[in-house]
Amino acid sequence: MATPPRVDQDDLWEFFREHFAANPLVEKIWASSGIVTRHYAVDPRKEPSTEWTTGERMRRYLTEALPLGRQAAADALTSAGLTPADLGLFAVASSTGHVTPGLDILLSHELGMPANMRRVIIGHMGCHAAVPGLGTVAEYVAVHGKPALLLCVELSSLHAQPKSPTLHAGNPTIEDFEQIVAHSLFADGAAAVVVAPFERAFSAGGTANLEVLDVTALTDGSVSDYMGLVVTDHGFRMRLSPQVPEVLERHVADLVTTLLAAHGHTLDDVDGWAIHPGGARILRVVADQLQLSEEATAPSYDILREYGNCASPTVLIVLQRLLRTREIRPGKVAVALGFGPGLTLFAALLKAH
């Protein structure tokens, strides 16, 4: 894991209070985020980033993403006891920046990965990208018998939006409130995992190795406009409907129980949960539908409080916290859950040996 400088949620509010016209409802939304600190590569209190063009933001993306990705990837390899030369595949997931050549090529050169190594970019998948990314690298390892590295890097702070004329005129729109929620939640960071050939086990920087049993997804196309990123002349504008938790409420229990049943498991066999903390309300809904205890959801709440929503790296950061603070007993399983555009739910089933 790698993060830029930490910022306090209360200090950020002092900037965004004026940005959002001191609207009392905005302050209520901000206060209910469940976040105490976040990490920002680009601090709008120090730079006029809300007015940057998309081109300016993309150039800054490369400057900030390279060192974060380099550190996260190198740490994951060290934790797994491998060198860059051991890799057969390098996968990079990111939705907040676009550069060509991409991070997969630039970082593979910097870290000394093999010239004939396979590389893949996983883009536009948003917050849930780490889960299908994990499935992709695990399938490569199962077929080719060589280690693979998955890196997730996001720089949401690059996309702080300009002041809204409608909000400042006293006529806030739905889009205004979507931006308010996005500005109150999202943060920057990078995380990486290595998947190795032995039983497709991987290490997330914790004390245990887990086998990737399966990855599954469910997409509700009837609400595809509830979550997404819109490319504008001033960066990427988040679409984030307040009805997202209601969609998860309808689907998450069936998704998880079906995945478990396919491998002969039930909810009682789950020793650990790595739930993407898309927000405090999302965590409450998932916990309620899966009948999870406060202890089971503590790693997700802890990461939300300390890091905010870092988009795709977040579920890997939660998984790392889970492995460092909980014992996944041999024969038991852990479940990783991510939610993103589509609207899509992704789940990974991981088994301890």
Q: How many CB atoms lie within 10 A of CB 168?
A: 16
| Range of weakest confidence among 11-20, 87-96, 162-171 | 162-171
What pLDDT, on a 0 to 100 scale, did the predictor assign at position 204? Answer: 53
> How buried is 307 (Cβ within 10 angstroms: 0-12 exposed, 13-18 middle, 19+ buried)?
buried
Residue 72 identity: A
What is the average pLDDT across 103-111?
97
What pLDDT, on a 0 to 100 scale, did the predictor assign at position 21? Answer: 81
Kindly state the percentage of the chain with pLDDT values over 90: 83
Cα dihedral: 47, 48, 52, 57 (round 10): 20
What pLDDT, on a 0 to 100 scale, did the predictor assign at position 167? Answer: 81
Q: How does strand 6-8 pair with strand 201-203?
A: unpaired
Q: What confidence category does residue 26 fall into, taking pLDDT thresholds of 50, 70 and 90?
A: confident
pLDDT at 330 > cutoff 70:
yes
Q: pTM score, two decimals?
A: 0.94
**C-alpha span between 274 and 270 (Å, rounded):** 11
**C-alpha span between 219 and 47 (Å, rounded):** 38
Residue 280 tokens, joined: 């405090």
pLDDT at 101 > cutoff 90:
yes
Q: Report DSSP letters for 5-40, one per residue.
A: -EEEHHHHHHHHHHHTTT-HHHHHHHHTS--SEEE-
pLDDT at 188 > cutoff 70:
yes
Residue 160 is classified by DSSP as P
pLDDT at 205 > cutoff 90:
no
What pLDDT, on a 0 to 100 scale, did the predictor assign at position 202? Answer: 55
pLDDT at 94 > cutoff 80:
yes
**C-alpha span between 265 and 274 (Å, rounded):** 17
Cα dihedral: 271, 274, 280, 281 (round 10): -80
126-154 confidence digits (pLDDT tens):
999 999 999 999 999 999 999 999 999 99
Answer for the pair 340, 227: CB distance below 8 angstroms, yes or no: yes
Residue 318 tokens, joined: 């939660």
Q: State which H helix or E strand residue 302 sits in.
A: helix 294-307
Q: What is the mean pLDDT of the chain?
A: 93
Q: Which of 104, 115, 195 is nearest to 147 (CA)?
A: 195
**C-alpha span between 192 and 177 (Å, rounded):** 32
Contacts of 119 (CB under 8 A, 6+ apart): 89, 90, 91, 92, 104, 105, 108
Q: Which of 182, 164, 125, 143 is nearest to 312 (CA)?
A: 125
pLDDT at 166 > cutoff 60:
yes
What pLDDT, on a 0 to 100 scale, did the predictor assign at position 85? Answer: 96
Q: Coil, helix or strand for 213?
A: strand
Q: What confidence category does residue 199 fall into, taking pLDDT thresholds of 50, 70 and 90?
A: very low
- Tell me which residue has tokens 């205004």: 176
Answer for the pair 236, 331: CB distance below 8 angstroms, yes or no: no
Residue 114 is classified by DSSP as -
Q: Which domains does the chain have, with CATH numbers?
A: 6-203 (3.40.47.10), 210-352 (3.40.47.10)
Kindly state the percentage of the chain with pLDDT values over 70: 97
Find residue 121's DSSP bridge partners.
92
Q: What confidence category does residue 25 fall into, taking pLDDT thresholds of 50, 70 and 90?
A: confident
**C-alpha span between 347 and 158 (Å, rounded):** 28
What is the average pLDDT across 237-258?
95
Residue 194 identity: V
Q: What confidence category does residue 177 fall into, taking pLDDT thresholds of 50, 70 and 90?
A: confident
Higher pLDDT, 242 or 283: 283
| Range of weakest confidence among 20-24, 128-132, 259-263 | 20-24
Answer for the pair 241, 178: CB distance below 8 angstroms, yes or no: yes
To the nearest 10 degrees (0 to 180), the angle between helices 280-290 and 294-307 is: 170
